[in-house]
Structure formats: C-alpha cells, structure tokens
Amino acid sequence: MIQKFVFVFGTRPEAIKIAPLVLAAKDDPNLECLIVSTGQHREMLDQVLDAFAIKPDIDLDLINSRPNLNGIIGQSLLKLDKFFEDHKPDLVFAHGDTATTLAVSLCCFNKKIPLAHIEAGLRTYDLESPFPEEFNRRVAGLASKYHFCPTQLAKENLVREGCSENSLFVVGNTIVDAVRIIEEKISKEKSIQNKFDEKFSFLKSSDKVILLTVHRRESFGEKMKNICLAIKEIAIEQPNVKIVFPVHLNPNVRSPVNDILKDVINIHLLEPLGYLDFMLLFKRSDFIMTDSGGIQEEAPSLSKPVVILREVSERPEVIQTGAGILVGSSKNKIKQVTNELLQRGPLFDKMSSAKNPFGDGYSSKKILEICKKHLDKSNEKRSEQ
C-alpha cells in the first residue's frame, strides 16, 4: 500500500534539515512524497532547495502577505487546511520550532492528521529565550504522534513532560545527514570548489578565518550592538584575522551591523550565501561564532569549535561534549574566548576534537523506516476492526 507523506517547511534551517528526509522518501517506491513550502524565508530558502535539487509541489508564497509572525501563522493555517483537505496525507512531517512548524502543528491537531516532529524535545524552559521558538516547539510536542529526538537528553525532556515512550525515538539529527550529502556533492563536483575559490579569492591560505552569523530575535537591540562592538574590537586588534559575516536580511540585523562594522577592513560583510558556499566557507574557517541553533549542530559535524552568542542553548550536548562554549553578548567574554581560540592552544584542540553528539548522518533512513512500520501496524489494526 502506497503511503502519502507530506513535508512542510518555510525557513532556511527547516529546509536544510528536512531535505535529507525528502530525498530519502523520494527514493522509496512505496511512498508518495508531497513537498509544501510556506515561503517564510524566500531568497534564503530557495538557495537551500537549489543545493539539494528539491522543488516544492506547492508554494504557499506567504512572503508578500505576511505582516508579522501572526500573519505567517494565520495565512499558513488557512492554506494548509485546504491543502490537507485536498490531499489527505497519511502523515505530515514538520521540523523544529518556527512559525511554520507552529501552524502545521495546529492544523494537523485540529484535523486529526498524524504529525511527525523532527528534532523533537529541545528545551530551554524559558519562553523568552529563544523567542518564539521555545513556545512553538512545545506546541509541536503536544500535537505530534511521533517525536524524533536528536539525542537521549531531548527524549528525557519529553518523558518528563508526559509523552508516551512508545512515541519517542532517538535518531540523531538530520542536519548531520545534510552535511554528509553536501560534502559528497562537493567531493564529486570539483567545479563547486573552483567557483568558491574564485568567489572568495580575498581569503588567502595563510589567513586565520572566523565565520560569524547572528540573526535571532532575542539578539536584536542592545545585544546585537554589544556583539558587533566586540567583533569590531577583535578585528582591529587582530588585523591578520579575517572575519566573514553573511548578514541576515532582517533589518534588525542589517542596521546595527552596517552602522558598526561596514568600514572595518578585515571584516567582510556578505549577502546571505547559498548552502554550498556556506558549507565551503564553514570548512575553510578556523572556528565559528553564532547564535544559530543549526550551526551549533553543524560545527561538531565538521570538527569546528563554535562560540555561541547566546545566554542559554537548547543544545546543551554541544557544550557538554566541549564542541561549543557559551559567551552570550558580553563584549569581554566574546573577546576573551575568541582571542584564546585564535592562539590555537589547548582550548582550540579540545573543541575541535570533541565528539559529535548528533548521530552518524543516516537519521533520515531511520525516521522513514519507523514511520512506515508504525503506519503499517495502524492500517492492519483498522483492517481487523
């Protein structure tokens, strides 16, 4: 019996992490795979889909109609409701903690459609940090039939919240699958590396390189200003270090970044990068500074130390294994840790050799096998009744 699986995403991080699942599902002759994009991130989302050669079956195209988060959620609910009514999926997949994820969770719950939550169980237990992601993922946890946890710790969070252990599966994180797939693509297609070398010719082989990203809502305002001031001082004090910063499109990021950093000669402010270029830049960097959740997971996959520009992380495994270190938005702390890593001493060695806590790069295969098995059992029970 052919099972109909629907995959819904709307942002760049969701697309990266759900892409390996989509590719695996499309290779399975027993699955009908439908891909829905809400278009929550337009340009940055399309860059990821191009890297994985994925084309949505339907694009809800919310970019022109959404005034704010509530606009995204409201428009998504209405359009998803119609799509699900028309196509009647056996199972819907959503990832993580975005506004798209919240809308999918509410819609599936109200229509009694089974939902599989990818990257389930991450928690800070602080609704303000990250905002609004902590709320979104808790709602997804309430609505989901299947919870695919990246680590044992994430599973334990859901057990404490009362989820049935029969619905919880520790499978690793699909972002490791994504990194593996992209590394294989880069290895096979030499032209990708050649184009990167030409595009990033300002990076010399002898340069120390820091990759920087900042985009989270809780980083806006004074925290963003402090981070930028710290980066500016590091760049001025370390003229032989090159800091490469793909700048998020949100004006709450762009405005302070341009005001504080645009005239510093060894800080390179770039437009958002395609995923292939971003991965090659990741591999070229000595270490990463970020407030991104996904990058915290990519870093140990590529043996790169990650300096976390947040006060708390819902990925404590990164810190516990020694792959990452929390610095918040304290200028002094950011500078202290950065300068120590630039020396390539014991801290750098410890962080770059940390064990990857997020799996073996084959989470997608495990997730699909579990889903097919459980749906087959459910269909058998219905047939017997």
Cα 231 versus chain centre, distance: 23
Please confirm, yes or no, whether 119 is among the known catalytic residues: yes
The DSSP call for residue 325 is E
Please confirm, yes or no, whether 97 is among the known catalytic residues: yes
Q: Please name the helix (run of DSSP H) or strand (run of DSSP E) that holds residue 113, with its range, or none.
A: none
State the DSSP string of 132-175. Answer: THHHHHHHHHHH-SEEEESSHHHHHHHHHTT--GGGEEE---HH
3-class DSSP state for residue 245? strand
Dist. CA 140–CA 167, nearest whole Å: 13
CB 121 within 8 A of CB 316: no
| Residues linked to residue 32 through DSSP beta bridges, in sequence order | 4
Annotated catalytic residue within 14, 119, 218, 291 = 119
Annotated catalytic residue within 12, 66, 117, 133 = 133
Please confirm, yes or no, whether 138 is among the known catalytic residues: no
Annotated catalytic residue within 66, 117, 248, 310 = 248
Number of Cβ within 10 Å of residue 146's Cβ equals 21
| Residues linked to residue 117 through DSSP beta bridges, in sequence order | 94, 147
Dist. CA 14–CA 98, nearest whole Å: 8
CB 187 within 8 A of CB 221: no
Annotated catalytic residue within 215, 310, 315, 374 = 215
Annotated catalytic residue within 14, 66, 90, 97 = 97
Q: What phi, psi does 53 have (nearest 5°)?
A: 55, 50
Annotated catalytic residue within 217, 284, 311, 340 = 217
Please confirm, yes or no, whether 198 is among the known catalytic residues: no
Q: What are the catalytic residues?
A: 97, 119, 133, 215, 217, 248
